[in-house]
Structure 1
Amino acid sequence: MIEEQATVVKVEADGGVWVETGRKTACNRCSLRSGCGQQLAEQYRERQGRVVVKARCHHSVAVGDRVVVGVAEGHLLKASMQVYLIPLTGLMSMLAIAFYFQINDFLTLLLCVAGLFLGLTLVRWSTQRGVTLCYVRVIRKVPRWLDKPGCT
């Protein structure tokens, strides 16, 4: 289970809560911070704001509470496979069709872009239709005394 602390920003009647968490990468822990261009991109992203997601919750929480949310590794792996492999499969399928029919390079490029776009559209359509690729759930509530600055 991949876990992260978050703040509850909205509680819904159906047992779902909206939580807000910051974006993180491993760059803050890297010893090569000064020599890496990724550090500049990370500083820009920190200014962009926070991420808000809906999570399943079986605990009694209120707006402003700190909670620990988690995502099962299997769900995350399945979601990333769908998001990356479906568009790539569309691109490679069009490339195979272009190779089979010996189409010239420009049309092959157009077919590959169309296949990639078709795959991306398929992923977007399935998520808009209500298919959730990855479930986030509240694991536990963080006690208030751990919420104070200086406590870890």
Structure 2
Amino acid sequence: MLEQTAEVIHTASDGVWVQAVEPSGCGTCGGQGCSSRRIAELFQRKPRNFLVDCDLPLTPGDRVVIGIAHGSVLKSAMRAYGLPLGLMLAGALLAQAIQPGDGAALAGMLIGGVVGWFLARGGRTARPVVLRREDRISFQVMKGQS
């Protein structure tokens, strides 16, 4: 199961809305921020909120660990990208076999792509679930102590 720490934004009847909590860094620079992180922050988009399934009583501001099954990310990517791309290729090849020429191949590709897009949008995606609350106790290891 893939896990990520998130903060509860607000609760809903069918789950909770969360926002992913980004780590402060890899730890190599002591949390000061290296040039790679600063460059990445230039292209960072505004935070997105996600609806996740939850059985726990939570309030806004709670930190939780959310998880999603290993195979569901690959399945979603194949449905969103692989299905339309495969149908575009199949449409182009089929149209080329029926009517040789670039125009027919282009028309078959467009028809296959549109059909693939509609089929990809029709499926249900697996939503992440709240696994547990994040421990409020943080352990800090001070330099020279163990």
With normalisation by structure 2, the TM-score equals 0.74
Q: Which residue of 2 aligns with 1:92?
A: 89
Q: What is the deviation of 1:98?
A: 1.9
In terms of fraction of residues, the more helix-rich structure is 1
Alignment of 1:18 with 2:17, yes or no, is yes
Pick the aligned partner of 1:120 from 117, 120, 123.
117
Q: Which structure has the larger Rg? A: 2
Q: Write out per-residue CA displacement over residues 83-104 of structure 1, whole angstroms, 9 at most, x where no aligned residue.
A: 1221022102212212211331
Pick the aligned partner of 2:134 from 121, 125, 142.
142
Alignment of 1:61 with 2:58, yes or no, is yes
Identify unmatched segments of 5+ residues in structure 1.
none
Q: What is the deviation of 1:70?
A: 0.7
Matches within 5 A, 1:10-49: 10-14=10-14, 16-21=15-20, 42-46=40-44, 48-49=45-46
Give the conservation status (yes or no) of the 8 Å contact 2:91–2:109: yes
The number of residues matched between the two structures is 132
CA RMSD, 1 decimal: 2.9
Q: What is the deviation of 1:151?
A: 5.5
Spell out structure 1 runs of 4+ moving beyond 4 A. none
Are residues 98 and 6 of structure 1, via their aligned partners in 2, closer, same or farther at CA, if it must alter by over 3 Å?
Answer: same
Give the conservation status (yes or no) of the 8 Å contact 2:93–2:108: no
Letter in 1 for 2:10: K
Q: Which residue of 1 aligns with 2:29?
A: none
Identify unmatched segments of 5+ residues in structure 2.
27-33, 142-146
